[in-house]
Amino acid sequence: MNKASSWLIGAITFGFTLLVPCGAAANPVVRGDYPDPGIARVGKQFWLATSERYRGSKGVFPLFRSSNLYNWKRAGSAFRKPPRGTNGSYWAPEYFRYGKRTYMYYTARYRDKLCIASSEVTRPYGYRDRGVLFCHNRGAIDPFVIRSSGGKVWLVWKSQRNSKMDPSRIWMQRVSINRNSVLGRRIKVMTASPRGWESGVIEAPSLFRRGGYWYMVYSGSDCCGVNCSYGVGAARSRHLTRGWERYPGNPILRGDGPWKCPGHGSRMAVGGEDYYVYHAYNSTFRKRSLLLDRIRWVNGWPTIGNGFPARSAPRPLVG
């Protein structure tokens, strides 16, 4: 190696060091093609599951484990074989803690419909499928389960409509965890705007409570492929099932530089800070890796970094 080559390598290494400050977590935190992450904290461990096309022996729903949100290790798959009665479209797994038990809700195709189903996590690497929760004639995807202030459990989901002429909607409906069934009537809480950045599509709701508001971080617009325009928006309400208003500065996250079409993530509170784990395409548009960004709060609204995927994020202070 000559002196010029040594200098060049040193300069590149030094430049990379500047791009990733000490004490920061470099993005992506998971390389590969692992879209639609769902995340939960169980004890001192973080669990993460993602969508993935079924590939025989690799199983369904890749799993990862971490103790800090930025160093992830593959931990097999939720199911070795597709759940009984399903035939594809294994999307958007999300966790829900109910007492001492953990459940995973997910999307799958049953016969000719997109449905929402559930499973119980019986041990760190064991998932017992509980079957279909419900189906919808227009397709039901992207489940998220949350408990209200009064203790009722609600399923939040998206009806599969994706056009300016027929915009998608976010719904809520009460759910019985023990009986694995929905209760009462469904409530429409948001409809995608046919204009602006949403372009008739909203999906991937992630809800949480902070202060006197319920917050929803969601994704919108075209999710996939080289012509995608995906991004992330925010909404809030004083009441879980009504009165949702969008952040006037939406979208709070959109693609730029090496990362395109970011979205479909999950929020996690760690050490007094809020973080967002989400997917984004690399520059080739062939794979969606997982990125980590910190949520910042401005005048009662969540924002993500400078509005674009960060090269690195402050490392969560895990207690």
Instruction: Give residue-wise pLDDT tens across range 6-24.
Output: 333 343 333 433 455 667 8
Strand partners for 317: none
Domain locations in the chain? Answer: 28-314
- 249: phi then psi, degrees, rounded to nearest 5: -95, 10
Instruction: Give residue-wise pLDDT tens across range 228-250.
Output: 999 999 999 999 999 999 999 99
Class of domain 28-314 as given by CATH: mainly beta
Nearest to 87 by CA among 112, 104, 62, 105: 112
Q: Look at residue 19 in the predicted model and tell me its pLDDT.
A: 53
Instruction: Give residue-wise pLDDT tens across range 201-226.
Output: 999 999 999 999 999 999 999 999 99
How many other CB atoms are found less than 10 A from the CB of residue 3?
A: 7
Q: pTM of the entire structure?
A: 0.91
Instruction: Give residue-wise pLDDT tens across range 66-98.
Output: 999 999 999 999 999 999 999 999 999 999 999
Tell me the helices (H) and strands (E) count for the chain, helix number first.
Answer: 1, 23
